[in-house]
């Protein structure tokens, strides 16, 4: 009996991945612990080592998608057995709609594990006659199956428009992961967004001072770093916010790990600054720069992306004032910060111009009541308006 | 149907010769299946059928060649059928356990022990409805008397006074088990009374005794007096099938029964009546030659084409 | 045209055929004096006398076996086995004798035997009186299996069965005995065996339904018509030999097929239809062939179980919508 080579689960919420490469060829001898194949999930690339020795037979092609647990190859006792093996050829997941899954308890549906491009025999026949590749169509049948109506629509569309039709590409890879996560976020939690206006004058001054000493510090500290640190300090004080609902339990995390949304050309990733409450501003700044650089290079590791307990998103960097951020499940809170802009405000009965910033905070209302959210907002605002008090508390 | 004494002998001889030559074919590996030998029981078939007309029905069982021949089935098509040949009376698709001839009232054999009894009752019912005096005979072994169909048949035949003669050839062995070990009452005929069916126990190796008993049963049936169960006590010289090692009985017992050979017995009777040895000897030679010719005919005949298996599923 | 119940359609068919051909006779448990356990031979004893309408002992093997023997001897018997559940008692005579006699003896004997039997599926009378065994007998070569779903079909098919030279298992549904329908008043009104009937024309989904399920499929078709789904309902009427040509032509038109039957799903009627469609119509299919059948369990005593176990019109509607999704 052959040893199955299967897609491992590399993270709590991993559902599927793209097989990006094989390190061995059919019939090659593989020793336990040798790198066998490479997969990509959520823009993380992982090398997977063989968990047994044997002669390899590959059942899956490179650049195909697979669910966790899908068998993509086998390890056999002899080379001949491997070459003669006729395992069920693992097939791509392109058209498979993942079932809605609970973020913390990912279960891979059995049907999806054996998923493939689904085209009804009739649709296939008609498409062939019309010279259409059914694989390029969007299926509207059960589990994305391409049915006759889809082929008919494609033929009708081709007839109506004399040029190329709308451009279509499969929903796959990172975009598919994001789509799934965003839908899950909205479907599985009760999201409440609150706003607060913060006077950033003292933070602006603090940052100016830190930038002036960039050479000495060895890093250029950003507003984001300061806000991230402030959030970490408040979260350490308020474990109710640094908590998650997972299944039937409320889990209060023992670390404050803050995810930082990083925009990419084709999506968004959220690498995590671990234990941010115990790191200095300089350490946070260094780590942020490293994570962002690696994210843009597509070289984040799985460990860089997991275990976040809170997320910070700086949409101010592209000009936003306030938004309603979506939670990153299973986290219970996310903070979006807008641009710092000079605004006219009343202060001690006087009209003054102050550098103001909007905090947009979304909480999971299942876990966090309005009063608790209000306290978090107030404490965060206090720290940002008087950053010296934050620094005073640092060890 | 009246038959002269020589014809009875010729009929028994033909059966004897067929069984002997088929056993020989089997030993030479020229026979394509089971042979259920009728050796030793020749007086039963001949004694019963010699009193029947062509318009009377018989229903046979898996050990049926004696019945077929005694009722008049032509030798060559019968033999070819046994070998599954295209020239067989059923085109070779019935084989060793199934032959029939509607024109002679031979309604087939059977591969299922006991299944022929209800069919015989049905033929008797048809005969009764036609009202032309025809009767039906069903042959079965003592083993089949332990099948539920036996009771169902006796009961309805008695209730409806069917012109049915139930002929039980009690050859002492139900397949490969001594019959006595499977019953509390070894006389099958004794069961008839409980169903309201007339019965007789007859020496099945005495063709004249069988013929006389059959005559009485047929007379009863023809006048509407109902069914009769005839239990013919006899012996199966061979095993249940050829090649059966017969571990369930002794060679001494077999020798004892072979000494009571029904064919030799009737031959002695003919000699006692004054029939010349020469006449009997030449008859024996003629019968042996006829059977040998039938065997050659069967062996030389073609098999039915395999695709003919698809034909005649429906009428 | 006169209106007749399903039960009287069966009686009329037998009366007409017995009058037409004196080789035809009827025997079975309670068929004569009692007029049939379910009243389906009322009046026949008076019309034809005790020689041709016979009460038998409760001896199923000999009921069928005598039918076989009488048919070999030139009669055209109709025998009745009260419930289809009792076929086990006479299966040898059905499967080894009636079904094979013409075949074994190279066509020397015809077997014009009709075995009438009743299905009490969904009548709530327990596990020995409620089975749908049409698939069981349809598995045997040499038998024809007929299962009418309307009075008119019952009459036309039974008359054809009696005139047929092959053994026919004729399954009557007790639950349908009181259904009424107009039937041609013609002694030669026949419906050929082996021909399916399109009970309703449609273009979107083919529903192949047999026996009790036909009326349900029609009700479901009516319901979804309001949603713009056009259902074609096909009643095969003869289970074996099955008229696949009609079914295949329909599926090639609609591209979708649902099979609804009282027969168990496992190795059942639906399986046979689905497999044949798969082979014949694969490239015409826009959806997998669906089957609706009772689950693989006996039916306990009580109608609540029957209702739970058997597909109803709602289940058919849901399955049809599913095929259109």
Are residues A71 and A11 located together in one domain of the fold? yes
Q: From the list B102, B155, B156, which residue is nearest C108 (CB)?
A: B102
Domain B5-294, what fold?
A: Rossmann fold (3.40.50)
Tell me whether residue A302 is one of the annotated catalytic residues. no
Query: Given an 8 Å threshold on Cβ–Cβ distance, is C283 in contact with A141?
Result: no
Q: Which of A118, A128, A148, A149 to mutate to test the interface with C (most CBs of C within 10 A)?
A: A148
Chains A and C form CB pairs within 8 A to the count of: 26
- Distance (Å) from the C-alpha of residue C283 to the closest C-alpha of chain A? 5
Residue-wise pLDDT for A57-70, tens only, equals 888 888 888 888 88
Query: Is A179 among the domain residues?
Result: no
| 8 Å CB contact between A92 and A116 | yes
What's the number of domains chain A is made of? 3
Domain boundary among A125, A144, A174: A174
Say which residues have a Cβ less than 8 Å from residue A327's Cβ, sequence separation at least 6. A185, A189, A191, A311, A333, A334, A362, A364
What's the confidence (pLDDT) of residue A15? 77
Say which residues have a Cβ less than 8 Å from residue B151's Cβ, sequence separation at least 6. B195
A142 touches chain C (CB under 8 A): yes
Give mean pLDDT, residues B33-61. Answer: 96
Give mean pLDDT, residues B141-150. Answer: 97
Query: Given an 8 Å threshold on Cβ–Cβ distance, is C65 in contact with B149?
Result: yes
Q: Which residues of chain C neighbour B159 with C-beta distances below 8 Å? A: 57
User: Does pLDDT of A133 surpass 70?
Assistant: yes
Average pLDDT, chain B: 96
Query: Is A182 among the domain residues?
Result: no
Domain boundaries, chain B: 5-294
Residue A12: pLDDT band by 50, 70, 90 thresholds?
low
Query: Is A94 among the domain residues?
Result: yes
Query: Given an 8 Å threshold on Cβ–Cβ distance, is B312 in contact with C141?
Result: no
Query: Given an 8 Å threshold on Cβ–Cβ distance, is C57 in contact with B159?
Result: yes
C-alpha span between A214 and A282 (Å, rounded): 10
Give mean pLDDT, residues B248-271. Answer: 96
Domain C197-324, what fold?
A: Rossmann fold (3.40.50)
Q: Which of B90, B97, B315 to mutate to test the interface with C (most CBs of C within 10 A)?
A: B315
SS3 C102: helix
| 8 Å CB contact between B62 and B1 | no
DSSP character at residue C51:
T
| 8 Å CB contact between B135 and B56 | yes
Q: Which residues of chain B neighbour C51 with C-beta distances below 8 Å? A: 129
Where helices occur in chain A by DSSP H, the ranges are: 79-84, 110-113, 121-130, 148-160, 173-188, 201-212, 214-217, 223-237, 281-296, 302-305, 370-385, 387-392
Residue A8: pLDDT band by 50, 70, 90 thresholds?
confident
Average pLDDT, chain C: 96
Query: Given an 8 Å threshold on Cβ–Cβ distance, is C286 in contact with A142?
Result: no
Are residues A17 and A99 located together in one domain of the fold? yes
Are residues A212 and A322 located together in one domain of the fold? yes
Residue A387, token pair as written in the block: 């950053």
Give mean pLDDT, residues A319-328. Answer: 84
Residue-wise pLDDT for C243-300, tens only, equals 999 999 999 999 999 999 999 999 999 999 999 999 999 999 999 999 999 999 998 9
Which residues span the domain enclosing A58?
A: 3-112
Chains B and C form CB pairs within 8 A to the count of: 134
Are residues A233 and A344 located together in one domain of the fold? yes
* CB interface of B with C, residues 100-119, below 8 Å: 100-102, 107-108, 110-112, 115, 117-119
What interhelical angle do C213-225 and C313-324 show, nearest 10? 50
Domain boundaries, chain C: 3-182, 197-324
* Of the candidate ranges A205-219, A295-309, C205-219, the one whose mean pLDDT is the lowest: A295-309
Residue A111: pLDDT band by 50, 70, 90 thresholds?
very low
Evaluate whether chains A and C are touching (3 or more beta carbon pairs less than 8 Å apart). yes
Partner residues linked to A252 by β-bridges: A243
* CB interface of A with C, residues 76-115, below 8 Å: none
What's the confidence (pLDDT) of residue B263? 98
C76 touches chain B (CB under 8 A): no
C-alpha span between B311 and C10 (Å, rounded): 32
CATH code linked to domain C3-182: 3.40.50.970
Query: Is A287 among the domain residues?
Result: yes
C-alpha span between B115 and B120 (Å, rounded): 9
C-alpha span between A34 and B261 (Å, rounded): 87
Residue A105: pLDDT band by 50, 70, 90 thresholds?
very low
- Counting as contact any 3 or more CB pairs under 8 A, the partners of B are C
Query: Given an 8 Å threshold on Cβ–Cβ distance, is C287 in contact with A120?
Result: yes
Nearest CA in chain C to A147: C286
| CATH code where residue A72 lies | 2.40.50.100
Are residues A156 and A278 located together in one domain of the fold? no
Q: Which residue has the higher pLDDT, B3 or B192?
A: B192
Q: Which residues of chain A neighbour C283 with C-beta distances below 8 Å? A: 121-122, 124-125
- Distance (Å) from the C-alpha of residue B112 to the closest C-alpha of chain C? 8
C92 touches chain B (CB under 8 A): yes
A137 touches chain C (CB under 8 A): no
Are residues A214 and A85 located together in one domain of the fold? no
User: Does pLDDT of A178 surpass 60?
Assistant: yes
Residue A17: pLDDT band by 50, 70, 90 thresholds?
confident
Please tell me if the domain spanning C3-182 has the same topology as the one spanning C197-324: yes
If you search the block for the tokens 């002998």, which residue do you land on? B9
């Amino acid at each position: 009996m052959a040893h199955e080579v299967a897609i491992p689960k590399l993270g709590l919420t991993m559902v599927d991945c793209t097989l990006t490469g094989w390190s061995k060829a059919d019939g090659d001898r593989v020793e336990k612990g040798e790198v066998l194949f490479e997969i990509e999930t959520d823009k993380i690339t992982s090398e997977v080592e063989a968990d047994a020795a044997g002669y390899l037979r590959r059942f899956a092609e490179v650049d195909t998608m697979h669910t966790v647990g899908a068998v993509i190859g086998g390890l056999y006792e002899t080379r001949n057995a491997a070459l003669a093996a006729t395992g069920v050829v693992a097939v791509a997941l392109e058209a498979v709609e993942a079932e809605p899954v609970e973020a913390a308890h990912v279960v891979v549906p059995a049907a999806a594990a054996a998923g493939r491009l689904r085209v009804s025999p009739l649709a296939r026949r008609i498409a062939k006659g019309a010279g259409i590749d059914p694989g390029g169509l969007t299926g509207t049948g059960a589990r994305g199956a391409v049915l006759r109506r889809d082929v008919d629509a494609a033929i009708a569309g081709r007839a109506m428009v004399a040029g190329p039709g709308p451009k279509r590409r499969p929903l796959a890879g990172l975009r598919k992961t994001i789509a799934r996560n965003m839908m899950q976020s909205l479907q599985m939690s009760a999201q409440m967004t609150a706003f607060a206006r913060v006077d950033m004058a003292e933070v602006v001054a603090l940052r100016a001072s830190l930038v002036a000493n960039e050479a000495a510090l060895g890093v250029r500290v950003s507003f984001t770093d300061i806000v991230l640190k402030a959030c970490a300090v408040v979260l350490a004080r308020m474990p109710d916010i640094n908590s998650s609902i997972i299944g039937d339990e409320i889990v209060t995390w023992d670390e404050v790990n803050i995810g930082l949304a990083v925009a990419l050309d084709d999506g968004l990733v959220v690498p995590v600054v671990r234990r941010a409450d115990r790191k200095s501003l300089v350490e946070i700044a260094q780590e942020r720069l490293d994570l962002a650089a690696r994210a843009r290079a597509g070289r984040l590791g799985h460990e860089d992306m997991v275990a976040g307990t809170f997320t910070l998103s700086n949409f101010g960097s592209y000009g936003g004032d306030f938004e309603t951020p979506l939670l990153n499940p299973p986290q219970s809170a996310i903070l979006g910060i807008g641009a710092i802009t000079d605004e006219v405000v009343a202060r001690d009965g006087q009209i003054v111009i102050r550098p103001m910033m909007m905090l947009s905070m979304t909480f999971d209302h299942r876990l966090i009541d309005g009063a608790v959210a209000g306290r978090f907002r107030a404490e965060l605002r206090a720290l940002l308006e008087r950053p010296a008090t934050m620094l005073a508390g640092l060890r | 149907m009246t038959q002269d004494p020589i014809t009875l002998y010729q009929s028994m001889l033909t059966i004897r010769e067929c069984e002997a030559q088929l056993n020989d074919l089997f030993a030479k590996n020229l026979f394509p299946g089971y042979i259920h030998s009728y050796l030793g029981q020749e007086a039963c078939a001949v004694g019963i059928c010699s009193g029947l007309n062509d318009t009377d029905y018989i229903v046979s069982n898996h050990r049926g060649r004696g019945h077929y021949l005694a009722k008049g089935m032509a030798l060559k098509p019968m033999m070819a059928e046994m070998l599954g040949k295209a020239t067989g009376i059923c085109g070779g698709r019935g084989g060793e356990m199934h032959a029939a001839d509607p024109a002679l009232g031979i309604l087939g054999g059977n591969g299922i022990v006991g299944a022929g009894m209800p069919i015989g009752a049905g033929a008797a019912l048809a005969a009764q409805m036609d009202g032309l005096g025809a009767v039906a005979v069903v042959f079965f072994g003592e083993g089949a008397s332990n099948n539920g169909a036996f009771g169902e048949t006796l009961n309805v035949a008695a209730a409806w006074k069917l012109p049915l003669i139930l002929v039980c050839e009690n050859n002492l062995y139900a397949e490969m088990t001594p019959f006595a070990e499977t019953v509390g009452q070894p006389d099958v005929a004794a069961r008839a009374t409980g169903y309201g069916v007339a019965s007789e126990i007859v020496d099945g190796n005495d063709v004249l005794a069988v013929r006389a008993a059959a005559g009485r049963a047929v007379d009863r049936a023809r006048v509407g007096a109902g069914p009769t169960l005839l239990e013919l006590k006899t012996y199966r010289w061979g095993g249940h099938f050829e090649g059966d090692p017969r571990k369930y009985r002794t060679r001494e017992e077999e020798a004892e029964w072979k000494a009571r050979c029904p064919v030799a017995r009737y031959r002695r009777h003919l000699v006692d009546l004054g029939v010349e040895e020469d006449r009997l000897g030449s008859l024996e030679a003629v019968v042996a030659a006829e059977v040998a010719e039938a065997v050659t005919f069967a062996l030389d005949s073609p098999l039915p084409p395999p695709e003919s298996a698809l034909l005649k599923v429906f009428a | 045209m006169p209106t007749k119940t399903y039960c009287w359609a069966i009686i009329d068919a037998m009366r007409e055929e017995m009058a037409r051909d004196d080789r035809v006779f009827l025997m079975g448990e309670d068929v004569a004096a009692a007029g049939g356990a379910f009243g389906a031979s009322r009046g026949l004893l008076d019309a034809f006398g005790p020689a041709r309408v016979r009460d038998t002992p409760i001896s199923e093997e000999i009921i069928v076996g005598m039918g076989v023997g009488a048919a070999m001897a030139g009669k055209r018997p109709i025998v009745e086995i009260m419930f289809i559940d009792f076929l086990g008692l006479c299966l040898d005579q059905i499967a080894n004798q009636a079904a094979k006699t013409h075949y074994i003896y190279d066509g020397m004997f015809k077997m014009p035997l009709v075995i009438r039997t009743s299905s009490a599926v969904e009548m709530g009378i327990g596990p020995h009186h409620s089975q749908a065994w049409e698939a069981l007998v349809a598995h045997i070569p040499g038998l024809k299996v007929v299962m009418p779903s309307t009075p008119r079909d019952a009459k036309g098919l039974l008359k054809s069965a009696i005139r047929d030279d092959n053994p026919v298992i004729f399954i009557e549904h007790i639950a349908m005995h009181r259904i009424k329908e107009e039937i041609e008043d013609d002694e030669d009104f026949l419906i050929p065996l082996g021909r399916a009937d399109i009970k309703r024309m449609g273009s979107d989904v083919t529903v192949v339904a047999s026996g009790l399920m036909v009326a349900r499929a029609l009700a479901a078709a009516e319901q979804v018509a309001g949603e713009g789904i056009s259902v074609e309902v096909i009643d095969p009427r003869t289970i074996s030999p099955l008229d696949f040509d009609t079914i295949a032509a329909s599926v090639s038109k609609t591209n979708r097929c649902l099979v609804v039957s009282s027969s168990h799903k496992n190795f059942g009627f639906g399986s046979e239809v689905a497999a044949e469609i798969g082979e014949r119509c694969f490239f015409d299919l826009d959806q997998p062939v669906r089957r609706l059948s009772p689950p693989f369990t006996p039916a306990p005593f009580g109608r609540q179980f029957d209702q739970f176990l058997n597909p109803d019109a709602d289940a058919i509607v849901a399955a049809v919508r599913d095929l259109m999704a």
